[in-house]
Amino acid sequence: MEEYGFHEEEDLGDDNGRNKQNTDEEAQEDEDDEEEGMDYDEEDEDDVLAGKDDNGGVVISKSKIALAKKILENIRDNNERLIALFGGLISPEDEARIGISEAVDGMDNQVDAAANVVEGVFDGQSMIGPDGKEYSIPANYASKSKLVEGDMLKLTITDRGAFVYKQTKPVERRRIIGQLEKDEEGNFLVLGDQRKWKVLTASITYFKGNPGDKAVILVPVSGDSQWGAVENVIRNK
């Protein structure tokens, strides 16, 4: 009996030892888990993962915000370099002289098939359609193309709303040399061949003409025209 009791106590002691060892190991694992959780919290304190908060709002990590900020700064710097690069290729005078019409000039091949096409006649400033409607023409385009009153034009209105003009049938022209004048309202006129013609201010500005200069204009051979297309200006020194 004593031997039996001795072995029983020994077995209990072993069980208690194993239980204690398991308890210690579990406690150690809990401490490790807590330490890992603390490390995770410390790492994530300055880097919250992207997602949504409890209110449904979007949460973005600080590292992603810093990256986006850096990208935007690079874009800004590149834009400034491009502006500085192209700024030296064109003078302020040329930049002011170039109109939108020059940007769309020669785009016939890019016109959508569904675009609206209107034909009309140039009256010196605008195009008059077959229905009598007036379509504005950029003065820079009319000056550059040397449009003469009576020229036939084709206007293509693209699906993007761009106006593309094309001269389809120019009238027969004759050249006149006259003196450049300015009326009371500031409009330029050319006096020649015992009469006066109106001319576009953009044309005179392009040639840097002033009252008293000689102007070479193009007018229709036939008909009583009111406008002339400036071909050149001979400055009075």
Question: Domain of 182: which CATH number?
Answer: 2.40.50.140
Over the stretch 47-106, which tens digit does the pLDDT of each residue have?
444 555 566 666 677 877 877 787 888 788 777 777 776 666 666 655 554 444 444 444
Is 50 domain-assigned? no
pLDDT bracket for residue 137 (50, 70, 90): very high
* Residue at 204 is within a domain: yes
For residues 183 and 138, membership in a common domain is answered with no
Q: What is the torsional sign of CA 7, 9, 12, 13?
A: negative
Q: Does some domain include residue 46? A: no
Instruction: Please determine, for residue 27, whether its predicted confidence score (pLDDT) is greater than 60.
Output: no
Which residues, listed in sequence order, are joined to residue 53 by a DSSP beta bridge? none
pLDDT 10s digits, 156-204 = 998 888 899 999 999 999 999 999 999 989 999 999 988 999 999 999 9
Query: CA 89 from chain center: how many Å?
Result: 19
* H or E stretch at 36: helix 2-44
**Domain CATH number, residue 150:** 2.40.50
If one counts every other C-beta atom within 10 angstroms of the C-beta of residue 224, the result is 7
Residues 74 and 103 in one domain: no
Cβ neighbours for 173, distance < 8 A, ≥ 6 positions apart: 148, 218, 219, 220, 221
Q: Which two tokens stand for residue 17?
A: 């030892």
- The domain of 203 spans 173-234
Within a domain: residue 47? Answer: no
User: Rounded mean pLDDT of 204-222?
Assistant: 94
Span 6-35, average pLDDT: 49
- Residue 90, pLDDT score: 64
Number of domains in the chain: 4
The Cα–Cα gap between 97 and 91 comes to 10
pLDDT of residue 223: 81
pLDDT in tens, 111-133: 444 458 999 999 999 999 988 89
For residues 106 and 160, state if they share a domain.
yes
More confident position, 4 or 161 = 161
Answer whether residue 157 is part of any domain.
Answer: yes
Q: Same structural domain for residues 163 and 190?
A: no
Same domain, 178 and 224: yes
The residue from 131, 148, 169 where one domain ends is: 169
Binning the chain into helix, strand and coil, the percentages to the nearest 5 are 40, 25, 30
Please tell me the predicted confidence (pLDDT) of residue 160: 87
Tracing tokens 């204690």 back to the chain, one arrives at 20
In a domain, 25, yes or no: yes
42 in a structural domain: no
Whose tokens are 């015992």? That residue is: 194
